[in-house]
């Protein structure tokens, strides 16, 4: 790990970055809320072994990155990503966005274009638009559910995160992860800044990515668990694949939201097969 100062819009931000180096085609992994780059621990070795240059980083406010008071909207977060790609002079990149990170993938294309990109992956990702509204009746997140989640986190992180992570790794009532994996997930969540966690919660719940997705023309993979109770496939990944012409969809049977951990073999197979094309 190293700290990289990147130019983000008209400002700068210090991000914790893990870069495997090498001459392979770069894959940039963007983690979900409210964890860190360490949540990709099942993917990084597999991608390295396959010859890819693997870059993962902590979003501002999370893990070891700087934790400023502001900047938790998707425009700023995507400017951070653009600054990272520029600082490392990356091209022919595959962006892999998990959950909240899928929003950064979509907004990156909408805001910065595809010049540096080879392909994109939406993994259990929040686009096209999570919140249920009058003009988005298929949105899987209701106002009441969002308010309950916000009040739970505000009331106490130590009580909120264990329940959240258990749901993250559960298909229905069945926990698909080990207790050690749950404990590790909670530990990553607790590294987040509270203001960042709340700000990003609002961002992923209320940001409309539909106009961003229509601009995606590079090869696209949508991978999702069919038992995702946090970001249900029917209201998110399925709709994203319908918007992006030619998108490939892989639905992992019995997999919860955190399928990159609970179903790592199936997830990695889908990702590596896609990257090899």
* Catalytic positions, written as ranges: 99, 228, 257
**Contact (CB, 8 A) for 75 and 111:** yes
Closest-CA residue to 261 (of 178, 186, 159): 178
């Amino acid at each position: 790990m190293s700290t990289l100062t990147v130019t983000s819009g008209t400002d700068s931000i210090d991000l914790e970055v893990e870069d495997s180096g090498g001459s392979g085609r770069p894959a940039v992994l963007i983690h979900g809320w409210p964890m860190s780059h360490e949540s990709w621990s099942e993917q990084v070795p597999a991608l390295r072994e396959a010859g890819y240059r693997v870059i993962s980083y902590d979003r501002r406010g999370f893990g070891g990155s700087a934790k400023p008071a502001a900047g938790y909207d998707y425009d700023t977060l995507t400017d951070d990503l653009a600054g990272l790609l520029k600082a490392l002079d990356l091209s022919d990149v595959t962006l892999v966005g998990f959950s909240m990170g899928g929003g950064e993938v979509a907004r990156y294309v909408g805001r910065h274009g595809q010049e540096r990109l080879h392909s994109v992956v939406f993994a259990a990702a929040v686009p096209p638009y999570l919140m249920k509204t009058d003009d988005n009746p298929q949105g899987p997140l209701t106002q009441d559910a969002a308010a309950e989640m916000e009040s739970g986190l505000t009331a106490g992180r130590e009580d909120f995160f264990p329940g959240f992570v258990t749901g993250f790794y559960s298909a229905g009532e069945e926990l698909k992860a080990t207790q050690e994996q749950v404990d590790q997930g909670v530990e990553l969540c607790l590294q987040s800044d509270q203001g960042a966690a709340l700000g990003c919660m609002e961002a992923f719940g209320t940001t409309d990515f539909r106009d961003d997705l229509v601009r995606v023309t590079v090869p696209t993979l949508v991978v999702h668990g069919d038992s995702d109770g946090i970001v249900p496939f029917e209201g998110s990944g399925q709709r994203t694949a319908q918007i992006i012409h030619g998108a490939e969809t892989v639905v992992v049977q019995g997999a919860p939201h955190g399928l990159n951990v609970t179903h790592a073999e199936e997830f990695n197979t889908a990702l590596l097969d896609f990257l090899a094309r």
